[in-house]
Structure 1
Amino acid sequence: MIRLLPLKRLHIYVLLSLTVFFVVQTSKYYSIAGPAWVFHYLNDFLAIPIIATIGLHGVWLIKQDKTLRLNGFTILSLVVLYSVVFEYYLPQQDERYTGDIWDVVCYGLGGLVFYVLQKIE
Structure 2
Amino acid sequence: MKLFDPYFCFYLLSWIFIKLTRIYSVEIDYLNHYLTDIFAVPAMTHLGSYIISKMKYDNQIYIYPTSYLIITALVLSILFEVIMPKISPKYTGDYIDVVCYFFGVIIYQFFHKKSILKDFHSSNHKNHYQAKTSK
Scaled by the length of structure 2, the TM-score of the pair is: 0.77
Distance 1:31 1:6 in 2: 34
Contact 2:53 / 2:62 at 8 angstroms: preserved in 1? yes
Distance 1:21 1:63 in 2: 29
How many corresponding residue pairs? Answer: 114
| Deviations 1:9-28, CA, capped at 9 Å, x for gaps | xx211101211110111111
The Cα shift of 1:37 comes to 0.7
Q: Are 2:91 and 1:97 equivalent residues in the alignment?
A: yes
1:51 to 40, 44, 53: 44
Pair 15,7 (structure 1): closer, same or farther in 2 beyond 3 Å: closer
Contact 1:75 / 1:111 at 8 angstroms: preserved in 2? yes
1:18-97 correspondence to structure 2 within 5 Å:
18-34=12-28, 36-61=29-54, 62-97=56-91
| Deviations 1:29-64, CA, capped at 9 Å, x for gaps | 011232x11111111001111111111012202222
Distance 1:65 1:33 in 2: 41
For structure 1, the residue ranges without an aligned partner over 5 or more in a row are none
The Cα shift of 1:66 comes to 2.4
In our comparison, the structure showing a higher alpha carbon Rg is 2
Pair 65,93 (structure 1): closer, same or farther in 2 beyond 3 Å: same
Distance 1:6 1:94 in 2: 37
The Cα shift of 1:65 comes to 4.6
2:113 to 109, 115, 118: 118
Distance 2:80 2:71 in 1: 14
Scaled by the length of structure 1, the TM-score of the pair is: 0.85
Contact 2:3 / 2:47 at 8 angstroms: preserved in 1? no
Aligned partner letter, 2:69: I
% of aligned pairs identical?
24
**CA-atom RMSD in angstroms:** 1.8
